[in-house]
Amino acid sequence: MTGDEIARLAYLTLLLVVIGGAMLFELSGRGGRALRQLFLWLVIFAGLAVAADWWMSRSQPQQRVLEGNRIEVPAGRNGHFHIHALLNGVEVEFVIDTGATSVALAPDDARRIGLDPDRLTYTGLAATANGQVPTAPVTIREFAIGDIIDRDVRAVVLNSDLGVSLLGMSYLRRFARVSFEGDVLVLDR
């Protein structure tokens, strides 16, 4: 569990205790028994919803980088393979897309790694499920997944609200083997 997850869980737990406690304290001297029980059940339900949200966000399978330049990426709950990489030192989440020709950055991810999508020249086109999208060629100085570090990786920035960056074939071809072992995508160098 990361520090952010621990802080989020602590905050939500404290919030639940304070609100639930205040409601029970306030209603203990007034109101009918049924009203107190209703609020108690609402607090219990809210607590269960918070716990379920925390568990679901925590149970998302994570990639593993193993010795010998092997990366194992379990399928997410939605069936897609999500991989995290450091681009110019900034973590970016990608959906692995064997139908994508190249590494395609969403505008927000491009900004986070130091590129300004508003100042790029969109000279290309990409065919997406939502139609043709203008693309701008860029070069990523450093692209790292665990100990695997590549430099000067060519990519494109999409001029669209895709919301997610795609790890396409131009990067996947850098691996000697791309295969599936059950619900796990394996990348071997």
Query: 131-145 and 82-87 as β-strands: parallel, antiparallel, unpaired?
Result: antiparallel
Per-residue pLDDT band at 78 (split at 50, 70, 90): confident
Contact 175, 122 (CB under 8 A): no
pTM above 0.85, yes or no: no
CATH architecture, range 64-188? Beta Barrel (2.40)
Query: 165-167 and 90-96 as β-strands: parallel, antiparallel, unpaired?
Result: parallel
Q: Give pLDDT, residue 4.
A: 62
Q: Tell me whether residue 129 is exposed, middle or buried, using C-beta atoms within 10 angstroms of its C-beta: 0 to 12, 13 to 18, 19 or more.
A: exposed
Between 106 and 65, whose confidence is greater? Answer: 106
Tens-place pLDDT, residues 134-167: 999 999 999 999 889 999 999 999 998 878 899 9
Gap between the terminal Cα atoms of the chain = 29
Question: Tokens for 98?
Answer: 């064997």
Q: Which of 152, 174, 151, 164 minimizes the C-alpha distance to 110? A: 164
C-alpha 9/C-alpha 171 separation (Å) is 36
Q: Where are the domains of the chain?
A: 3-58, 64-188
Question: Tokens for 132?
Answer: 């043709």
- Whether residue 91 is predicted with pLDDT greater than 80 in this model: the reply is yes
Q: Give pLDDT, residue 40.
A: 76
